[in-house]
Structure 1
Amino acid sequence: MEYRRVGDSGLVVSELAFGTATFGGVGEFFGAWGATDVTEARRLIDICRDAGVTLLDTADVYSQGRSEEVLGAAIRGRRDDFVLSTKAALPMSDRPDDVGVSRSRLLRVVDDALRRLGTDHIDLFSLHGFDASTPVDEVLATLDSLVAAGKIRYTGVSNFSGWQVMQSLAHADRDRRPRHIAHQVYYSLVGRDYEWELMPLGAAEGVGAIVWSPLGWGRLTGKITAGQPIPPGSRLHTTADAGPPVDDDLLHEVIDTLTDIAAETGRTVPQIALNWLLRRPTVSSVIVGARTEAQLLDNLGAVGWELDAEQIRRLDHVSAVEAPYPYFPYRRQEGFARLSPPMV
């Protein structure tokens, strides 16, 4: 396991992180992801610790807070072995004051997360989405006070657009408040939109990517093949419409190439897909999730080796799609590319 700084900060995390959205099993949506209880969670985290994983990721909305509770119980007595990351912003109920990141709600949800996790501080606290109804200065001032109080060590964002990230960074710089160090983003071989704007922004501003759903919302597990139905037991049966869309032709071409490279290397399809991501610019950590020990061990096998240059070229080629305006001139036209060469 390698360890990396998150962006330009001093926070060091493992290159693979363990995501706990499968903990708890509360509600139809997250219940389809998994229902890991405390005993099972403790065993999975034991495996992670033995493999060198330090970063554990959750969110208040995962199983209505139950994921945080299970995670907190599973690491009791060894909290200092891990870097804890959680998120808030999405609604936890139908109450009008129970959504977003206003000052009053931020103060409340951070205290709730600390209680559920059984800790006195959160290492990385991220805004789970952009709250258009709360002034950015109010958000940053509240986060600053939480950092000063020792309840949060570092802050980040998740699922922001480029201008939303830059607005927060610019206001933080102007007022000398802590900058966001991380952007938790969707990025995979069947979803490379992150590269168009958010990757160069991260490189220029020192914001590290923490990647969620690196296996394309469960599509790159090796269980899906062209012309075959979604296998029984897959969460795609109930959650496919909620995740990032993927063109079927692109998916099948990527899977075919992953399968070929897996056969060449003796690795599995998920391991190939994860290893490709770990070599991308700005990536600080890649979150893997698992409902079983076998799934987790397979995902952890993505580190400690590298694809060769030709295999990377094939994956780059088969997964490439046309960028939208204003990005495509910089990828297709020599003059624009000379002005601002694409990072990948």
Structure 2
Amino acid sequence: MADDPLPLTDWVHHDFGVRLTVTEPVDLGADRRALLWRAESADGGRYAVKLSGGGTPAGLIVSAHLAGQGVPGIPAPLPGPDGRAWTVRDGRRLSVLPWVSDDRALGGAMTDAHWRSYGQVLARVHAAEVTDELAGLLPPGGGTHPAVLATLRAVDERLCRHRPGDRLADELARIWSTAAGPVAELTAAVEPLGAELRDRPGRAVVCHGDPHLGNLLLGPAGRIWLIDWDDAVLAPPECDLMFVFGGVLAFAPVTAAQQAAFRVGYGPTEPDPARLAWFLTVRALDDLGDWAGQVLDVARAEGERQQALDIVRGLISPDGLVTLARAALRKLGRPPEAR
């Protein structure tokens, strides 16, 4: 089936029984291994059609499971001929989901009602049954931090060998030098803190893994939709709650009033400060290494490299994730010593 020469509309009709009349490419998200289309069917239905070239089908399995359990705000993928939420075309996973909204939370008008709905949806996600399939499928949240540190070391090594002349790499080298102290604090803290938390493991629940505002769509009457489950993990709830109570996006900080509205929907919760700090630290280092690596990838278009550089600059800004992670660590009363 991976070698089937049929075009997209025929693939979707053959695999999912939907006859598309309109397909429009959509450039959203940071995953350059995926292609996304906004599509319409002959009967007026609207769909998100995706070809994914990386990762695993875990996100589709999780979203289908949650939607099947009646968790609100989770678009359910259409089943293929064998009941799975995807088929294989051109060596990639083809999936079809309802196109639930054009209104994005990021940069949109997210009301208190939307924040309450956001809390309600995450609470239901965290309360969902962890089946044997999910337990065997989903990785632990934050469990990739050894690879994250290896990525940072690789960036360091490349910048040490860097010769001036590439404008974007030159600027990255300057930023990287400025951020050396703060980054050293985070790298020194991540493993000791993680070891302490492993000694007192938290309740592992289904987590979205990346529920920032860019993955929220807004509906009428305060409804929200949580999309893009590719980073789903099993982890303590703080893995998701850090996006509300820790802050992740420098250009979209969460206010105290928004946190309060979220709490109304989520229910009583007091996130563990140490777990919040650890997840924030892992995320900060992961984002920093990933985006810096993209700046150094000269095979990418200059516009993509410039965007990656801008994100690196935002990560170390006063409102950025590196700064927020350092602040969370220091609230624990034990600032790490830079190594």
Q: TM-score, normalised by structure 1?
A: 0.28
Normalising by structure 2, we get a TM-score of: 0.28
Comparing both chains, which one has the higher relative contact order based on Cα–Cα distances under 8 Å and sequence gaps of 6 or more? 2
Rg larger in structure:
2
